Amino acid sequence: METTLILFKPDALHRGLAGRILSRFEEKGLQIVGLKLLTMSQEMAAQHYAEHVGKPFYDGLVGFMTSSPIIALALRGPGAIHVARSLMGKTFGNEAEPGTIRGDFGNSRSYNLIHGSDSAESATRELGIFFPEGLQEWTPITAPWLWDAE
């Protein structure tokens, strides 16, 4: 079982796509174990995007991500990181495949609707930033049919 962080960026909220995007993850069988609406602080953004400090896009990215509310979502399931990233599609909406979130809802190189952890290590670090209080532990009654679990 794996847990990943997904961020619904300001453009997803301003465009009214949060429910449609969330439903993609739920319909695929990923379990919600954390969900909150928040405005990312400068400190959170600096922590989350630390590997991008000094890059030409850093200031614009931080400005965008702190400009209005986002949704932080923790999802769990077998291979959750790979599954979520497959649902998201390529980084840029104008290059993403139809049927993916970015392919269906995005057409921009700057505004790509969502962020998803790219590895187990990143997920652990990122979940700690957005869910320092921990995640909700529960087992869906549908787990045996979704995950081949007993």
CA distances from 59 to 53, 77, 115, 125 (A): 8, 34, 17, 21
Provide the pLDDT for residue 74.
Answer: 98
pTM score, two decimals? Answer: 0.94
| 115 a catalytic residue | yes
Whole-angstrom Cα distance, residue 122 to residue 81?
A: 10
In the CATH scheme, what is the homologous superfamily, with its name and number, of domain 2-131?
Answer: Nucleoside diphosphate kinase-like domain (3.30.70.141)
Strand order in the sheet with 2-8: 31-38, 70-77, 2-8, 114-116
The active-site residue, picked from 14, 52, 82, 115, is: 115
How would you write the pLDDT of the chain (150 residues) with one tens digit per residue? 999 999 999 999 999 999 999 999 999 999 999 999 999 999 999 999 999 999 999 999 999 999 999 999 999 999 999 999 999 999 999 999 999 999 999 998 889 999 999 999 999 999 999 999 999 999 999 988 888 865
Contacts of 150 (CB under 8 A, 6+ apart): 144
Spell out the domain ranges in the chain: 2-131
Whole-angstrom Cα distance, residue 49 to residue 58?
A: 8
